[in-house]
Copies of this chain bind each other. A is one copy, B any other.
Amino acid sequence: MGENVKRPTLEAVAVRAGVSKSSVSRVVNGETTVAPEIRDLVLHAVRELGYVPNSTARNLATKRTNTIAIIISDPPAGLVSDDPMFSAVVRAASRELEAAGKQVALMLAGSPESQRRVEQYVAAGHVDGALLVSMHGADPLPALIARMGIPVVSHGRLAAPWLMPYVDNDNLGGAAQAVRHLLDQGRRRIATISGPLDMPAAQDRLSAYRDVLKDSGRRSIMAVGDFTRVSGADAMGQLLEDDPGLDAVFAANDLIAIGALRTLRRSGRRVPDDVAVVGFDDIEAALYTDPALTTVRSSMGDQAAATARLLLGLFDGGPADPVIMPTGLVVRESA
């Protein structure tokens, strides 16, 4: 590959400019206690030599890395190939972090092996902070990371919320609103397809569903999904078998709802006439289903950006309080 030109060092710049290393360092780091003429001398030499600071050396000396890890759980088998959540969250968080001048190290935490790798990496002092995304309840990683002595936040409440601050949606409120909407429309047999039960978001959405139904004296009917389309399709099939007379479904997320819609279509049900469907998240795809999906808006992107800001705030001694972002029902055609 290319010519590995030896890059100029800070010392080379110092020699070139006829000043000391210290002065160059000061100028490069934007300290104000430098005489203008020296600053000019240095800046000139920097430009002439094309000097770029060696961040590795800087990291060694300062014991900071300027890097934030985004640690995101990785589905075991590559089940979910196109996960809107992944894209929205990683993008939004990265943007926010990069805008703050941080580097982003992406780490997938799936297999035990990869978990070890993540742990090692963080333990090795390679990052100044970490942002965890969509950890499952059984996951030991959050606890391990939390005790590493670096700022850590979670996108979404953890099963062990006390471990670190987090930013979450108002899952309870949003789900309650969705189910009440179904009730208001006169639906009598309202089923739900939940997310993976070891995830707090799924738990919240489920328990709000249950609470609202219980308050209205109705019986709940549920099947378990895992936040994917195929799980939604399967679960819908099971629900239809269990109770062919159901007239509404609250899906724990839009992907599940999309899967459910397909099964309903194939079983000959009309939506919303025979069965109403409500999703959760309001991903872009919800606008393109037939009929368009009524759903609960929870901007993953905004949430991720807020999570990143929470983390950045921690570095400046900001508050470590959990943040709950509002959700709201978006009524379209499916319910």
Contact = CB atoms under 8 A, between A and B. Distances in A.
A214 interface: no
A111 to B, nearest CB: 10
A12 interface: no
22 contacts: A1-B151, A2-B147, A2-B150, A54-B60, A56-B59, A56-B126, A70-B106, A74-B91, A78-B91, A81-B88, A82-B285, A84-B84, A84-B87, A86-B87, A90-B106, A98-B114, A98-B117, A104-B106, A105-B106, A262-B287, A262-B290, A285-B285
Given A1-B314, A314-B1, A94 B82 contact: no
A108 B91 contact: yes
The 5 closest A-B pairs by CB, nearest first: A82-B84, A2-B149, A86-B87, A106-B106, A56-B59
Nearest to A229: B288
A138 interface: no
Most buried by B among A74, A88, A259: A88
Nearest to A67: B105
Given A53-B124, A95-B108, A108-B95, A82 B288 contact: no
Size class of the contact patch on chain A:
35 or more
A129 B52 CA distance: 18
A104 to B, nearest CB: 5
A301 B81 contact: yes
Contacts of A86: 86-87, 90-91
A135 B230 CA distance: 32
Given A91-B108, A288-B258, A65 B70 contact: no
